[in-house]
Structure 1
């Protein structure tokens, strides 16, 4: 049975008269990667700042491995590693010098310093750059150094804010694999507004919009949250496009090829039965019919629209 590393209860925070977030609740178990999604201004950054102990919440509690972050911040923060969107690197230091400095800031014991540095470098694949100045590293390896400083004290929770931002495709793939490696013995929060990154890396999804949690489940559930609303139909004797547009609940139709039609619809998926029936009646010679899976971007947009407005949430 996996242990719960993070427990967030009724988290709310108010700036002046406006509530940035309200009643946020979620848990993260060890060995899990949680994707925290949210558009700009949704409340994601506020949640992360509170979670990392940078900001004290107005209401609610956060427990890190059972320790209340607000009541015992020093002990709780010892269990947290954080990589902000812009890694806090000292470019004129070597990799070793920087990581030793970070380990000291994290109160790693003097006798354990060297071992902690070597272990973090090995896990992040940067051992061969020990004596290289950080300013002479590529963007991908700088990001690895940033991740190394976040795990050097063996935290139970690692928080990564947009860790693949600005990297090229090869570097993104390397960082994804590194995050999965880290999650083998830690809980990881991966914050991003890029859905494809979350899809490739995370197992669980929490989405905040207008200060409220609008989705909390697994990635698979997120992918299947909204029913498909598009059909791809292949017909040997396809009628004019207007014929499809006249079908009840069809909102749009277009030919992809002379024999393949894309149909967008509202309502239930019984539209497929209607198409099959019409094909038989009119000799369209239906060859194939399939629902088109809703993309993550469309799911994100639809969930955002369902979120309460900030004005409605404000007191």
Structure 2
């Protein structure tokens, strides 16, 4: 349904210099109350796309609609529906948490009669109320990030855009911020920009992938996982067979010999079944298998595969 679409992007392109397109012909629809992962390598065009969506940058061509409102024709009304946390939270380190959030509320056009309630509610939601009177400079990185998220949602926007929200945090802080993002998604649509596959897999419902300014993937996390499933493993033998004999095993597509004792095998069936056959054959033939491990695909290889599919 059309009214279920919170963000609609049509034929969006932008260039900083003549002939140098940062993004080109991007088309996206994002529905309400989902966590959308925006994945891409450095320089892929993620920041350009987010800055255009949030009204920081004016696009060269194309249209962006926030909750049905054209950002080019009515930018102020569109911005009322957006909350944005850039990679570096826009904090005022000399202010207390309460002072900063009051300031953020005024900047977001919250009426003065509702500011106190809005601040109290968002501090409770982000679990920072116990630090209300503490200066921002005295907070840990994890709590500063919570304050950054609080300023992004204080005006209850329909769309919340988070740029690398767990960057630089320790594992415990990352887990806490991910939990907070899931809670926020119950009431808001969240776009999470990151270069980390683990981040997308941990909390996102759907995935967008941008590479070289083009949208190369848009779909569910389950569909995306088909691209990142491992398809190779490495093996090491003390008495290795001839490479041709190893590569001809059932289920093996092809292989590479890495050194005198080590090989990489690419498979098409379940890895466990091939490894079981490999162990049995090694024992029967005296190959003396000493190491076997499934290899994960690199982000670069996923980008390459998706880019190739796009051009096909």
Query: Normalising TM by the smaller chain, what interval?
Result: 0.7 to 0.9
Gaps of 5+ in 1: 286-290
CA-to-partner distance for each residue in 1:184-228, whole Å, 9 max, x for gaps? 011001111122122212111111111111111112211112564
Deviation track 1:269-314 (CA, whole Å, cap 9, x = no partner) reads 49978x959968x9459xxxxx98763x52x2123224669xx9xx
Q: Gapped runs of 5+ residues in structure 2? A: 249-253, 287-291
TM-align CA RMSD: 3.4
Q: Could you list the per-position Cα deviations for residues 35-87 of structure 1 after superposition, in whole angstroms to 9, with x for gaps in the alignment?
A: 11111111111101101111111111111111111111000000000001111
User: For 2:215, what is the secondary structure of its paired residue?
Assistant: strand
Q: SS of the counterpart of 1:225? A: helix
Output aligned runs, 1:32-51, within 5 Å.
32-51=34-53
> Does the CA-based 8 Å contact 1:230-1:263 persist in structure 2?
yes
Measure the CA separation in 2 of the matches of 1:277 and 1:219: 32
Contact 1:214-1:303 at 8 Å conserved across structures: no
- 1:244, distance to aligned residue in structure 2 (A): 4.8
Question: What is the TM-score when the length of structure 2 is the normalising length?
Answer: 0.83
Counterpart for residue 10 of structure 1 = 11
Number of matched pairs = 296
> Secondary structure at 1:145's aligned position in 2?
helix
Is it true that 1:132 corresponds to 2:134 in the alignment? yes
Task: Determine if the alignment matches structure 1 residue 174 to structure 2 residue 172.
Answer: no
1:223/1:294 contact within 8 Å kept: no
Q: Offset of 1:11 from its aligned partner? A: 1.0
Comparing 193-202 and 148-157, the one that deviates more: 193-202
The 8 Å contact of residues 226 and 294 in structure 1, kept in 2 or not, is answered as no
Distance in 2 (alpha carbons) for counterparts of 1:8 and 1:208: 14
Match of 1:196 among 195, 198, 208: 198
Distance, in Å, in 2 between the alignment partners of 1:278 and 1:54 is 58
Deviations 1:72-127 (A, max 9, x none): 10000000000011111111111111101100010001111111111110110001
Corresponding residue number in structure 2 for 1:288: none
Segment drifting more, 168-177 vs 223-232: 223-232
1:1-315 aligned at under 5 Å gives the runs: 3-17=4-18, 18-225=20-227, 228-230=230-232, 240-246=239-245, 247-248=247-248, 249-252=254-257, 263-265=264-266, 268-269=268-269, 283=284, 295=296, 298=298, 300-306=299-305
Q: What is the rounded CA distance, in whole Å, between the counterparts of 1:239 and 1:167 in structure 2?
A: 43
